Structure 1
Amino acid sequence: MSLLHAVWLPNPGAPHLALWADTWRVAKPRKLDDLEAPLLHPLALEAGDLKAWLEEIDRLPAEAQAIEVQLTLPSRSNGLPLMAGEAIPKTVQWWPWRVPALAMAPADAASWLGQLPLASSPAELGDDLSWWAHLQRWSLSLVARGRWLPVVRRLEPGHVQASWQPLLNHEEDRRRLEDLASQMPLVVSAADTPGALGCRRPSAKRLQVAQIAGALLDGQLRQGFQTSSEGLDPLLAGWQKALGPGDGILALSDDDSARLISATSRWRETVAGQVAPARALLELDTPPEGSELWPLRFGLQAEADANLRQSAAAVWNAGDGVLQLGEIQVEQPGELLLEGLGRALVAFEPLARGLDAAAPEAMELAPAEAFVLVRTAAAKLRDVGVGVVLPPSLSGGLASRLGLAIKAELPEQGRGFSLGENLEWSWQLMIGGVTLTLKELERLAGKRSPLVQHKGAWIELRPSDLKNAEKFCAADPPLSLDDALRLTASEGDTLMRLPVHRFEAGPRLQAVLEQYHQQKAPDPLAAPEGFEGQLRPYQERGLGWLAFLHRFDQGACLADDMGLGKTIQLLAFLQHLKAEQELKRPVLLVAPTSVLTNWKREAAQFTPELQVLEHYGPKRASTDAALKKALKSTDLVLTSYGLLQRDSELLGNFDWQGLVIDEAQAIKNPGSKQSKAARSLARPSRQSRFRIALTGTPVENRVSELWALMDFLNPRVLGEEDFFRQRYRLPIERYGDTSSLKDLKARVGPFILRRLKSDKSIIADLPEKLELPEWVELSGEQAKLYRKTVDDTLEAIQRAPLGQRHGQVLGLLTKLKQICNHPALLLGEEEVGADFASRSAKLQRLEEILEEVMEAGDRALLFTQFASWGHLLKNHLQQRWRQEVPFLHGGSSKNERQAMVDRFQQDPRGPQLFLLSLKAGGVGLNLTRASHVFHIDRWWNPAVENQATDRAYRIGQTQRVLVHKFITTGSLEEKIDRMIQEKASLAADIVGSGEEWLGGLELSQLRDLVSLEATP
């Protein structure tokens, strides 16, 4: 197997695209001592083999030159580069390699890239080529929309170079540039210097993408550029010639060079920087009675409000004065209108006939010209900044296409109506808001004109729509409730390729649709008989929502904020099924091991009638017969994610009535074993099996992780993974496609219920939460150790190979955070001495606050990410206050964990302080006895800290919660805290992977981040 890649060679004046391929084949490892860089890449195809292979797979460029390039590529420590398609490990090294390649000039590269698929690339194409394909499509879009200008730059005395460059002042183009830069694969810039690779700043990436797009655009424009020097200044004639085929170099005197550069610069600045209050407007009217000609009127339209318009006559009457568009004042409106009409000529040539007069106001179009304006030119005109208003029935989009108007109703049946059963329905053909019969459609089609008049409205008939209508009428398909739910989930959905313009639902069906799409909440359900407790109003609505989706055999994701009682709502739902005698077989609930005991206790408290069995531990059932025997008279079975995959065959053989997964983010990676096990178990069995997911994470905002969850709940909603990747994931995550995002949210919205604690309409009696930053300075010993660690480590990082720097950077950050806590952490001390507190300013401040907490009789949670720091703190705090301080960490057993929680939460004489590691104690615990939360050492992902805080700030909390976040001044803790605060809206994306984002910083950036600043 070989894999094709593309790399950009940014040679000044002559950039190229180079193709190369690596392949699976055995290569002999080398000793590092024997290496002489740069070596010939041992896995790369030679130039001759590369040409032959590309010809075999029909990818050989028409014009390509065999060359050898030097690329910086990921390599192993044994001296070999990674093989084709292999994932890049974190500890990879980056080495220079000589690679045979085929180089293409930008014009040829644009043509070759234009033939590549945008997504779902064939196996022989590397993932980076999908990025190249999107870049080329964008470049072609800039050409088509006229978003380019000629530019002149000085080379050396007596010579300038003319080129075509993109004009990127449009908001959509700036956003597209940002998206492409953020998603740019490393291999694209592998020809850069080794020191620049992998640590490029966002601004540098944006600049590189803009330069590549500019080179591709320049190459394409030169190919078809026609020059005409008739009547031109000799200087402009030479410049125009330089913009045609060739290198664009023009020999000029210094005065002529300055003249030309100044003129083009002012031109570009004017076009790029001017934001006019109004734009030229073309308004198309339908032909008057007895005429075939279409009136086209000119005018101005306000940029801020498209409904504010003035005719061309009013524009000319204003002369050199000011034209009023509502409250907007437009100076020199005539000049603005003429300039806009001149740009409109680029997109719609027939306009030239109407511009003969000195003050043009309107013109008439032939039917064929009107069709061109409606079908293609209107979009191009809007792209170049000209407003277009079409008749309502021809206004564009799906509404102007032939489609369907549907009336449907649920039959009179019981509450068990299924999604697959048919509705009572009728349909009519519709276009432009006007209905028509099949006979009328046939009559109109017989006129053989794309624009025809029907019932007083002009409509467009497309041949493809006529064929789809014929197929639909011949098939006369049924309409199911499932179809109705899909057609009303998002605008623009189709039935047998015909868009649905109008969907009228009868009263019974409308009630179902409103509840299903959460336009109207399903009827709430009170706590069922046998439920010991009181449901809050929003929990009754949650119970009603679960019961509603269960009625139609649809999976449900209860994504309420942490602490709002997802456990209680699920238990109430199971009790509801039992009370209604619908719970015929056991339900399997999968949860992290740490919360199994909590589930068992909550079930015993709120739903004592439910028979609960814990499938956990060495004594659990291990055979089909033993499991079947153990599950007699059982309603709910609890097991862990680890056992779900370990006992997958055993659990899969049993016919569960339902499957519930708690902390559902555990299956977000579709390739993980536990995700595959959960999704496999959720597949339809001999009888219907309901599926419910519980999570406090807003999954609707994590596109790449959404597929696995929906594949567990309702597989058909998002289809297979390959389809999801092509239809949603790539367009949204890589290229910011808002229409795909809107469609995705509409499709998954009915299955996800999300409520937040911050919404007072949901829960008004939750007490206040206050966050208090605790600023502390470093002690003398800490500051000295901090500076020495920075100096020594930065020097080592500077000398280290590129591939080792990432790990060393993260190691440095860990050491500095340890020093900010206490010198003993870095020095590896295991004993607590008499001077332990005096050596750390952070510990001294912690003791001061804890003194007040202890005297007030309050309880507190103390979170740290270092287990070694937790053990030292435990010993020190126990000595300081002469009472137990439990420490829950990754090494705590299930029984130890639960015992610590019970003593803290339930024992009136239990410990006042509870130490927890952030990883082991940050989820799945209810610790509402605490009214203080201490984050002793900061985690750079705010979501992780908030999740830990919510162990105390949740339902059941009756006291105000004070959250103390310690920050050492002048250190990296303060600087990263500042960075997070400044970019609060992007914090989740920036620090979503812990500190990994810091590993790629340039040395100068790293030095600024970790250097210790003097404090006043």
Structure 2
Amino acid sequence: MLVSHATWHGGALCLWAERTGRYEPDPDVHPYATRDFTGTSYEPLTRGAFRIELTMALPTHDDHPAPSAELGPEPYEGDPELREWRIPALVLEPLAAMALLQAAEDSGDVIPGTDLRYLCLLADEAAHLTARGLVLPSLLREDGDLMARWRPVIDDTARFRALVEAMPAACRAADGGRPAAEVLREALSGLVDTIVRGTVPHPLLPPRRGKVPDRVPLSERWFEALTGPNPAIAREPHDNPDELIAELDAWAAAARRPSGPLRVCFRLAEPGAEEFTTEEQELFPDEKPEPAEPDGWRVEFALQGTEDPSLYVPAAMVWSGDATSVAGAEETLLAGLGRALRLFPDMAPALDSPIPAEVTLDTAGAFRFLRQAAPMLAAAGFGVLLPQWAGKAKLGMKLTTRTDEPAEGSGAAASSGFDLRGLVGFRWDLAIGEETIDEAELEELARLKTPLVRLRGQWVELDEEQLEAALDFLRHPRTGKMTAAQAMQAVIHAGEEHLPLTQVDADGTFGDLLSGEADRRLQPMPSPEDLNATLRPYQERGLSWLTFMNDLGLGALLADDMGLGKTAQTLALLAHERENGKQPAPTLLVGPMSLVGNWQREAAKFTPKLRVYVHHGTGRHRGEDLVEAVRRVDLVLTTYGTAARDAEMLAEIEWERVVCDEAQALKNSGTRQAKAVRSIPARSRIALTGTPVENHLTELWSIMEFANPGLLGPRAVFRERFAVPVERDGDERAALALKRATQPFILRRLKTDKSIISDLPEKQEIKVYCNLTTEQASLYQATVDDMLAQIAEADEKQRRGLVLATMAKLKQVCNHPAHLLKDGSRLQGRSGKLERLEEICEEVTEQGEKALVFTQYAEFGSMLQPYLASRLDRPVRWLHGGTSKQQRDELVQHFQEDPEPGIFLLSLKAAGTGLTLTAANHVVHVDRWWNPAVEDQATDRAFRIGQTKNVQVRKFICVGTMEERIDEMIERKKALAESIVGTGEDWLTELSVAELRDVLRLSPEAVSD
């Protein structure tokens, strides 16, 4: 396997790769690094690259660099240290670098690493800025030379900060490293410059006629260098670039300058011609589409409040003196119009007037304003007011299908009377909004050759490409028969930029499936007799839906919220099959190791007649023994790791279905684990996960690729069509198309929805603020002082390691001095957190209840367990990463079944998922992981179905310390919390020294009296 990596260094993209099984004898050279992409899809783009050697500080274990996440779990224990490694790399030419970043996808030969994926995101961001016109030309001095460059205008500061915080350290780690914000600006500038040069024709100016003058002005040479491959400007004697540089810098500053309390606003007013209402169109059906009046469009100028858009002052009022109460109105209007001219050049004639108030446009000009000027003006901070119909009524395709009887011999599912091989009648139509249009109307639109027409009482935008696509559409057969499978593919993949699929009208079961209403319209199935449980109504609908999808041969993604009983619904499906006389091939269930025991217990409890075999551990069957063992059972349980190792053996067995629990484990489609699970053939597949999308939409594609291989098309196409438009642009049309493409295969219910489950108790979250003891405060301050002293002398690569090490030490100080000192000293009376934890545990046990206590540190848990047991005078269970599977199962069983009150101490990493611990109705997070999703998953060990009491969740925070300030920062950035803290505390290393000092400082209120 080859994992590609990239960093931005020296104004260019530097590419290298990590290869398994490679070794360099030089102890300072990264042992697995290579720049050889021979025979891979990257080779054509790397042929013109030149070779360099980078020095990068990378996480290191035992003199070996930590492997990339794409190569699987780390085989090392403990925290890594940062160490410098020499890495052979390639510097790509700008156009080749952009081509790579726009095409880098998981493939059979190369998997992009996290750093390269991030730079791919930056390439998308640069393309987005360029498409919106948020670029400006500049003149720069680089190593004594003059360079003509394009640079981005970054108008969304929140987006910029999010990109800074999300930058992997490897992107900026070369040769000592640099601040992330500096690298981000440099990378965006380089990428924007490359995109513009690849888009704008060269040369922009026509060649001079006649004799070329002896001296070409610097401005012309600069303008010439803005296009083409070479940004260097030929120098001539007596060149003085300072004036041009200052003028261009002022332009850039004006583009970023806030507009104050008022901004210039542009309002598009449509022609005053009479319009046909829907009722009038019904009375006069023979009326033809009408073009807009050639000179009837107006763009009116006005001033608008930036904070209160309802404050609207037309330019005519400004010039008439009726707006004298608005300070500086005339100056603001003229200055704003001048700035807007480069974005809206069609208004130039209006500026010849001393009192510009509006500009009159023909139809083509109005269309240019709608499509080009209006979006750029809005992006630049100007107000834009458009008619209500603008952007709504679009020309698109409508698919109508009607279900026929199943094809003879198709083996239609008896339960639904329908399967994917059954035939449906189809009809394709053209539609604008909700209205279909016929061929005659389309030909009339094409004849008018105007981009804005009035059709059936509404204005419609049409361009030449749309009309051409529509006319081509009419040349193909638009009615007939096709299988339901073909109809499904048509719905998912039909449509393109100029002629999207805007409507689907399907009847019967197929319509229910496409509409996502199948789970509600299917008859709920009662609990199977062989199921030792009574399913809730929503679970009966889930069973019905799983059976329905299974009968159709479609893969299903059961995405019910955590705790709603995905396990019970899946076991009910297996019991239903046996009850109805079906004896299919066995089912293979793949899940995390922590869940295998849970599945084994749940199967024994709810479906005791199911024969279960656990394929895991050194004693597991292999070869023919495995085949024979599988033949005798109904359900085989295994782990993702075992499935990856035994993929070839498992692929040789006939499976009825493969089920993946916690299917987010498949979110990275290029990993060995995901590829192995996808390679196991089965008649159908089910993915179970409460978090189908954790960070990016391509994770949903990866899970769906397991459930229904090929249904959503190649990953690159999915990313281009759905992921990028939805995530980057908030494209509602792409989001709607994605929903239509995926909702037939996804069933998602939330436990907070009272219509789904009304008897789940409430969850109350409480922040418990604790004080430090004097000893803790002294250790805390000493740790901060030591770090700040070291960081002042450290370079960038050492700084990151110092910050992370300090954060860990301070969290340990907040827990207990003995946790930091590791001296085995006494615990009592030395920690505010421990004192409060002891009080809460005593209250819980005195009330006859149970509590889960989570810590992220196994060593601290090992200190707490005997101490709490002696203080509470009762056993305290302790589950951590070193607990064997058998011990783990016994601990869980005893805790759930023991009628006595109790405390269960758990390591967050080892026990945060996969356990049902509803015997507890109290959850305590002693120290914080600073990832809300991780903490919520741990809390859901208790807050899930089976819980009959209200759950109290307490999160410990030491007041006046970095714990309180980081909690406040996360609360302020709630929307971005997951992306900010998803990788732990790395984002804190980006803070400046002043910001670190403020975050880590010890406040007087931190220490108890």
TM-score, normalising length: structure 2: 0.74
Aligned to 2:230: none
- Write the letter of the residue equivalent to 1:975: R
Distance change (3 Å), C-alpha of 1:740 and 1:974: same
Is 1:913 the equivalent of 2:914?
no
Name which of 922, 925, 937 aligns with 1:947.
937
| Pair 331,286 (structure 1): closer, same or farther in 2 beyond 3 Å | farther
Task: Measure how far apart 1:448 and its partner are.
Answer: 7.8
Contact 1:320 1:334 in 2 (8 A): no
Matched, 1:674 2:664: no
Distance change in 2, residues 1:487/1:335 (3 Å) = farther
Matched to 1:409, the amino acid is: R
Q: Which residue of 1 aligns with 2:403?
A: 410
Question: Compared with structure 1, are the counterparts of its residues 205 and 661 closer, same or farther at alpha carbon in structure 2 (3 Å cutoff)?
Answer: same
Hey, what does 2:849 align to over in structure 1? 858
* Aligned with 1:281 (options 268, 288, 291): 268
Residue 114 of structure 2 corresponds to residue 120 of structure 1: no
976, 981, 986: which one aligns with 1:996: 986
Q: Percent identity?
A: 36
Structure 1 position 371, deviation (Å): 7.2
Q: Give deviations 1:712-736, integer Å, cap 9, x for gaps.
A: 1122233334444555556666787
Q: Which has the larger radius of gyration?
A: 1
CA distance in 1, matches of 2:265, 2:379: 15
Find the aligned partners of 2:576 and 2:986 in 1 and give their Cα distance.
46
SS in 2 for 1:934: strand
Cα deviation digits, residues 367-401 of structure 1 (max 9, x gap): 77677677766766776758586896xx568x554
Residues 540-578 of structure 1, C-alpha deviations (whole Å, 9 max, x = no match): 232233233333322222222222222222222222333
* CA displacement at 1:767 relative to structure 2: 2.4
Count residues with an aligned counterpart: 931
Q: Which amino acid aligns with 1:426?
A: R
* Residue identity opposite 1:649 in structure 2: E
Q: 1:784 to 1:734 in 2, by over 3 A?
A: same
- After superposition, the Cα gap between the structure-2 partners of 1:889 and 1:300, relative to the gap in structure 1 and judged at 3 Å, is same
2:642 is the counterpart of 1:651? no
Question: 1:646 Cα deviation (Å)?
Answer: 3.6
Residue-by-residue CA offset, 1:669-699 (whole Å, 9 max, x unaligned): 3344432222111x4x5xxx22112223353
The residue that corresponds to 2:484 in the other structure is 481
1:504 alignment partner AA? D
Which stretch shows the higher mean deviation, 83-92 or 801-810?
83-92
Matched, 1:937 2:927: yes
Within-5 A mapping of 1:30-41: none
Cα gap change, 1:116 to 1:295, in 2 (>3 Å): farther
| CA distance in 1 between partners of 2:401 and 2:444 (Å) | 28
- Structure 2 residue aligned with 1:691, among 685, 704, 707? 685
> What is the RMSD computed on CA atoms of the aligned residues?
5.9
- Quote how far apart the aligned CAs of 1:537 are: 2.4
Pairwise mapping of residues 386-535 of structure 1 onto structure 2 (< 5 A)?
400-401=394-395, 403-413=396-406, 415-430=416-431, 460=462, 462=464, 465-466=467-468, 469-470=471-472, 473-474=475-476, 478-482=481-485, 484-485=487-488, 493-494=494-495, 498-506=499-507, 509-515=510-516, 522-535=522-535
Tell me how far 1:361 sits from its aligned partner.
Answer: 9.0
TM-score by length of 1: 0.74
Paired with 1:733 and 1:58, the residues of 2 have a C-alpha distance of 29
Q: 1:711 to 1:954 in 2, by over 3 A?
A: same
Tell me how far apart the structure 1 counterparts of residues 959 and 728 of structure 2 sit (CA, whole Å). 38
1:260-271 correspondence runs (5 A): none
Q: Amino acid of the residue matched to residue 533 of structure 1? A: A
Q: Distance in 2 between matches of 1:85 and 1:643?
A: 18
Is the 2:405–2:423 contact (alpha carbons within 8 Å) kept by the matching residues of 1?
no
Q: Partners in 2 of 1:879 and 1:887 — Cα distance?
A: 14
Residues 563 and 953 in structure 1, CA contact (< 8 A), matched pair in contact too: yes
How far apart are residue 409 of structure 1 and its match? 0.9
Equivalences for residues 873-884 of structure 1 within 5 A? 873-884=864-875
More moved, 962-971 vs 122-131 = 122-131
Shift of 1:950: 1.9
Contact (CA 8 Å) 1:139, 1:213: kept in 2 or not? no
- Correspondence for 1:39: none
Instruction: Name which of structure 1's ranges 983-992 and 590-599 shifts more when overlaid on structure 2.
Output: 590-599
Q: CA deviation at 1:285?
A: 6.8
Structure 1 residues 821-900: aligned runs within 5 Å:
821-829=815-823, 835-900=826-891
What is the aligned partner in structure 2 of residue 562 from structure 1?
562
- The answer to whether the 8 A contact 1:554-1:690 is kept is yes
Provide the secondary structure at the position in 1 that maps to 2:530: coil
Taking a change above 3 Å as real, the CA distance of residues 310 and 879 of structure 1, as seen in their structure-2 partners, is: closer
Counterpart of 2:857 in structure 1: which amino acid?
F
Question: Paired residue for 1:782, among 742, 763, 776?
Answer: 776
User: Could you tell me whether the CA contact under 8 Å between 2:851 and 2:920 is conserved in 1?
Assistant: yes
**For residues 100 and 648 of structure 1, what CA distance do their matches in structure 2 show?**
35
Structure 1: distance between partners of 2:788 and 2:329: 62
Alignment of 1:144-163 (within 5 A): 144=133
Does the 8 Å CA contact 1:766/1:958 hold for their aligned counterparts? yes
Q: For 1:45-94, what per-residue CA distance to the aligned partner results, in whole angstroms no more than 9, with x for missing partners? A: 9xxxxxxxx99979979xxxx9x999864579999999999999964545
Structure 1 CA distance, aligned partners of 2:150 and 2:538?
Answer: 57
1:904 to 885, 890, 895: 895
Q: Per-residue CA shift, 1:322-358, capped at 9, x if unaligned?
A: 69xxxxx999999999888877865676666788888
* Distance change in 2, residues 1:421/1:178 (3 Å): farther
What is the match of residue 641 of structure 1?
A: 640
CA distance in 1, matches of 2:292, 2:1001: 80
Contact 1:279 / 1:340 at 8 angstroms: preserved in 2? no
When structure 1 is superposed on structure 2, of 705-714 and 121-130 the one drifting more is 121-130
Query: C-alpha deviations, 1:189-231, integer Å up to 9, x for none?
Result: 679x83x62xx265x56766787799999999999999xxxxx
**Matched residues in 2 for 1:28 and 1:735: separation?**
44
SS at match of 1:273: coil
User: Do the aligned partners of 1:280 and 1:340 also contact (CA within 8 Å) in 2?
Assistant: no
Between the aligned partners of 2:162 and 2:815, the Cα distance in structure 1 is 39
The Cα shift of 1:138 comes to 5.4
Corresponding residue for residue 578 of structure 1: 578
**Which residue identity is paired with 1:610?**
L
Match of 1:915, SS state, is: strand
- The residue aligned with 1:235 is none
Q: Which SS does the other structure have where 2:913 is aligned?
A: coil
Quick one: distance in 2 between partners of 1:990 and 1:955? 31
Asked whether the 8 Å contact 1:320–1:332 carries over to 2, the reply is: no
Cα displacement string for residues 381-432 of structure 1 (whole angstroms, at most 9, x for unaligned residues): 776758586896xx568x554x544432111446242335432123344568
Q: Is the Cα–Cα contact under 8 Å of residues 72 and 97 in structure 1 kept in the other structure? A: yes
Counterpart contact for 2:610–2:635, Cα < 8 Å: yes
Query: Which ranges of structure 2 fall in alignment gaps of 5 or more residues?
Result: 37-41, 75-79, 206-216, 225-232, 276-289, 407-413
User: Residue 279 of structure 2 corresponds to which residue in structure 1?
Assistant: none
380-389 or 952-961, which moves further after superposition? 380-389
Going from structure 1 to structure 2, the CA distance change for 1:274 and 1:99 (only over 3 Å counts) comes to farther
Aligned amino acid, residue 260 of structure 2: G
> Residue in 1 aligned with 2:747?
753
Q: Are the equivalent residues in 1 in contact too, given 2:469–2:499 (CA < 8 A)?
A: no
Counterpart CA distance in 2 for 1:102 and 1:404 is 43
Given the superposition, is the C-alpha separation of residues 804 and 732 from structure 1 closer, same or farther in structure 2, using an over 3 Å criterion? farther
Once the 2 structures are TM-superposed, how far is the Cα of residue 590 of structure 1 from its aligned partner? 2.2
- Amino acid in the other structure paired with 2:902: Q
Asked whether the 8 Å contact 2:920–2:942 carries over to 1, the reply is: yes
Show the counterpart of 2:297: 296
Paired AA for residue 505 in structure 2: E
